[in-house]
């Protein structure tokens, strides 16, 4: 199993919207960055991810699971763009902010710290464990 981070602006797609989709989940569509798309191509069913609210909140707020591997976006007219489907697993009891992540020396090399604009990114097993702990899991 691998770990990932999925970023979304809450005004566009929020944790609450993801939760409302239930076990059916939702396509993680609209990604228009080749590196992020290529990361989705690496994902396997059962991989886990952090759901991250960008913009004003800038915090990891929940855990998700990949439920469908990379496929063409159903809403895209361009075959270059693929996505995975994810479903919500559970909220973090306490959101973990970007400032808190940046303050931890052991997270200094995390992609979120070094390239905060990338909307889909890998997370190491150690980063996964640390942030889950910071969030109360």
Determine contact, residues 118/40, Cβ cutoff 8 Å.
no
pLDDT tens per residue, range 98-107: 999 999 999 9
C-alpha distances out from residue 73 to 42, 66, 101, 137, Å: 16, 15, 32, 33
Using the 8-state DSSP alphabet, how is residue 55 labeled? T
Please tell me the total count of domains within the chain.
1
For residue 17, the enclosing domain spans 3-134
Residue 52 has pLDDT above 90, yes or no: yes
Residue 115 has pLDDT above 90, yes or no: no
User: Model-level pTM?
Assistant: 0.96
Q: Tokens 């996505």 — which residue? A: 83
* CATH code of the domain covering residue 24: 3.10.590.10
Structure-block tokens of residue 12: 């566009």
pLDDT tens per residue, range 127-136: 999 999 999 9
């Amino acid at each position: 199993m691998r770990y990932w981070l999925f970023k979304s602006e809450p005004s566009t797609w929020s944790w609450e919207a993801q939760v409302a989709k239930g076990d059916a989940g939702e396509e993680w569509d609209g990604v228009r960055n080749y590196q992020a798309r290529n990361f989705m191509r690496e994902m396997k069913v059962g991989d886990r991810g952090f759901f991250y609210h960008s913009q004003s909140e800038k915090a990891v707020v929940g855990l998700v699971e990949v439920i469908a591997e990379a496929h063409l976006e159903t809403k895209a007219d361009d075959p270059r763009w693929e996505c995975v489907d994810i479903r919500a697993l559970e909220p973090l009891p306490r959101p973990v902010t970007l400032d808190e992540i940046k303050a931890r020396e052991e997270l200094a090399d995390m992609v979120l710290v070094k390239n905060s604009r990338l909307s889909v990114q890998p997370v190491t097993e150690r980063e996964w464990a640390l942030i889950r702990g910071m969030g109360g899991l």
